[in-house]
Structure 1
Amino acid sequence: MDLAETLAAIVGPGHVLGPERLALRDPGWCRGSQGAGLLVRPADAAELAAVLRATPGLAVVPQGGLTGLVEGTESHPGQLIVSFERMNRVHAIDPAQAVALVGAGVTLAALDAALEPFGLMAGVDIGARDSCTIGGMVATNAGGIRVLRYGMMRAGVLGLEVVLADGAILDLTTPLLKNNAGYDLKQVFIGSEGTLGLVTRVALRLFPRPRGIATAMLGLDPAGLSGLMPRLRAALGEQLAALEGIWPACYEYVAGQQGLTRRPMAPQGLYLIVEAFGPDDSAARAALEAALAPVIEDGTLAEAVIAQSDSDRQAIWKIREGGGTIGSAGETVHSYDVSLRLADLDPYVRAVEAAAATALPGVQVLVLGHVGDGNLHLMLMGPPGLPRAPCDAVVYETLGAFGDASVSAEHGIGLEKRAVLARVQPVAVRAAMRALKAAYDPENRLNPGKVLD
């Protein structure tokens, strides 16, 4: 019996896809996702465990919504792709406990739709909500625009069901908010990018849906950013839901690509979007206006535009959510995701712009990000065929001059950042990660080559 027949006997012949059927599928953001030429779709943890037990030593590459940006789903001949798309059930919603138990293949949008009748939602929200899966979000410890209010994905995970490399199933799906019964093993798998175990179900902590939202666009001198943040936090407390930033070159490029002739605000040194929650829209807007009044009066803000309607809010967010237009004119774009201290954000952007002007003439540096939590997304855009290596050098060598910085804020490591992680990671930390990998996956079966070489 060949491999495809072995797999078909476990999951059914319709759920084993060879090269012909794979070629009809969208590879997502990683062009090499389908390289293995063979994909299996188990329905649950038991089928996945049976697949792993029946294929000892075979390398497997887990794939969710294929929205990752660091080549974490790349696969090669001789490997097996494991798709979680059939694990797409919302198994239980407990509104009293504010907990949901969901399959790893449930998309964020599908979960949100299931939670809406209960007035609940997941804390994390990201732009790829229609495609990204809960299992993938756990595996990458997803962030997004609400980290200020709800934290990263890790903060909302109460428990997991995980299949190990040898087919053992760990049921860690406790729905309890408090559980100190021994080691908190679920934390090992969150953010591990499928290299230690394969997440099949997730117990999630839920949050009340905001009844009111207020949104404003702010213009200020970037030097005032680190002073503005604590004032907003003090004034709004837990009502502060998001603080996003767009640097001028990015703002102008995206607005131009979107054909916007009427923009929410005149040119600024830095554009910010601040969002606050409240019991209703009027209360949220009043709280936001009260928070902004003193920083307008003392000149910290050059301008502030507060949305008065949903259409105003959409206009404010349109440019920030228009990152997909970058490179749409045929340019080559290399994207980066870094994290720094708040006070270092603009100095770092300026340093990258200066380094690029010297080393990469003609290359544009476009920057936006979740500035409230110190996360920048940089896009270095140039003519078709722009090589990545010199762009990497500009971004990461400049980052090395700033203390307490990270080469990955929320996208993970995958293949793309593996080499730079090896250069900057302390030796003892790297040794501990290798020991963990060896303990959970001694044959290096699970997403081999990702995160660690």
Structure 2
Amino acid sequence: MAATKDIFSAIVGAEHVLTAERLATRNPGYCADAMGAAVLVRPANSAELSSVCKTADALGIGLVPHGGLTGLVDGTRSHPGEVIVSFERMSRILDIDPLQGVAVVEPGVTLETLQSELEPLGLMTGVDIPSRGSCTIGGMVSTNAGGIQVLKYGMMRENVLGLEVVLADGRILDLTNTLVKNNAGYDLKQIFIGSEGTLGLVTKIVLKLWPIPASACCAMLACDDPEVLPALFDKSRRNFGADLMSFEAMWPEYYDVTTSQPGFGRPPLPSGHGIYVIIELCGQSDAETEARLVAFLEPLLDDRTIADAVVAQSGSERNAIWRSREDSDAVDSVLGASLSYDVGLKLADLTNYAVRLRKRCTVKSTDIVPYIFGHVGDGNLHVMFAIHDGDLGRREIFDGLVYDTLAEFSGSTISAEHGIGLEKRAVLTRSLASNTLATLVELKKALDPCNTLNPGKVIAADE
């Protein structure tokens, strides 16, 4: 450890190489083993990171990149003998061009920080996720983050115009063209988006920006029959078109947990319904947008497609509606800990998947309750289970429930937005054909032949 510290201190400075004692005081985030390595380095720029990568590659030292540590698939787990690369010093907003509609940022910038800088300019990022206060732009690129506005703005893949990337051998790829239309050769940046730091380490991001809508209005709906969900979404999409920003759903077990926690206040709608839906749309004025939403809801209430509804009349009411959806950490309060899954299905299969999963859980044990919620418009459901702290060893039971049910639906995926990391690596074959997986391995070996970058994540070294 002392030799490793000296080697990297010569590159980034001794004060920016942290060892075990200082690492023990750092918050590991959602991956309990994130601080398993004995050394952490904090490069200040791409040149220092290039030297770090070149040195690690030559010495056979694995590098594990850390951003905001909000990932949910053990993608930041590290081990003794590896070195953590933290991007906390690379946290500058380098440029905001309102006319071009782009921002150039370093990977350590948090989403909330960037949003705060953009808001006075009337601009915003297309991707927004609940962990905005701690998640970093680099981590969002690494996992191809999605969130609650994918319907209108797309995932990170659609919002990244350019990247600067350091490869395992220290080469720096400048892919930072800021043009919206650029068709000169292969679009190399795309192979790094969603690669979880296994192919290259991102040091600069060019983000597409969007005008903040003139107005936005959201409502929560309650339906007694979850089976109306696909048709309700289709009707919403046809009615609002490109103005439909979000269409989210919560099954009752999840809604009851998030709205009953201390300090929540009065739930937006009473408990006891079969499913809860959040619709948010944008428009040209508050009055016009609200009128459109109310006009859409009234006939659905009349014909009992929906049993109840509330339209947010203030910022605090909107926040309460969204808190009921975004505060998934509330599931931890049930038994002390939780497991989280992230699956994708065809829109027509969403409710059937939930029905079969809940039935399979009941058959397995009446104590196993799936807490289901997600981005209906994207075909993305999140499934959580409340567990005791010591129950992680029983994970295969919950994996079987989620993935065996998923296997009954063609065209599904084990990961819609969280990535693979270590947690889902063993089940990646459920979503990828063997020749596709083999091509991923070839790409990894071409760009990182010594398996230096985030070793073991996404695919095993010996595959």
Normalising by structure 1, we get a TM-score of: 0.97
Q: Tell me, yes or no, if structure 1 residue 350 matches structure 2 residue 389.
A: no
Distance 2:170 2:320 in 1: 49
Q: Deviation at 1:329? A: 4.2
Q: Which residue of 2 aligns with 1:207?
A: 210
Tell me how large the CA RMSD over aligned residues is: 1.5
Matches within 5 A, 1:391-402: 391-402=398-409
C-alpha deviations, 1:290-341, integer Å up to 9, x for none?
A: 3333433433222221112222212222321221111224444211111111
Matches within 5 A, 1:47-446: 47-55=48-56, 56=58, 57-220=60-223, 221-258=225-262, 262-266=266-270, 267-386=272-391, 387-446=394-453
| One-letter code aligned to 1:63 | H
Distance 1:88 1:259 in 2: 33
Greater mean alpha carbon deviation, residues 30-39 or residues 378-387: 378-387
Distance 2:49 2:221 in 1: 49
Distance 2:389 2:208 in 1: 44
Q: Deviation at 1:397? A: 0.5
Q: Deviation at 1:250? A: 1.3
Q: Which residue of 2 aligns with 1:33?
A: 34
Q: Deviation at 1:254? A: 2.3
Residues 1:200 and 1:260: Cα distance change in structure 2 (over 3 Å): closer
Distance 2:265 2:66 in 1: 40
Q: Deviation at 1:35? A: 0.7
Q: Tell me, yes or no, if structure 1 residue 452 matches structure 2 residue 459.
A: yes
Distance 2:263 2:160 in 1: 41
| One-letter code aligned to 2:201 | L
Distance 1:363 1:445 in 2: 40
Percent of aligned pairs with the same amino acid: 53
Distance 2:444 2:343 in 1: 25
5+ residue gaps, structure 1, are none
Distance 1:308 1:233 in 2: 23
5+ residue gaps, structure 2, are none
Q: SS where residue 307 of structure 2 aligns?
A: strand
Greater mean alpha carbon deviation, residues 365-374 or residues 129-138: 365-374
| One-letter code aligned to 2:149 | R
| One-letter code aligned to 1:83 | S
Q: SS where residue 381 of structure 1 aligns?
A: strand
| One-letter code aligned to 1:215 | C
Distance 2:430 2:187 in 1: 30
The answer to whether the Cα contact below 8 Å between 1:161 and 1:171 also exists between their aligned partners in 2 is: yes
The answer to whether the Cα contact below 8 Å between 1:225 and 1:343 also exists between their aligned partners in 2 is: no
Normalising by structure 2, we get a TM-score of: 0.95
Distance 2:449 2:299 in 1: 58
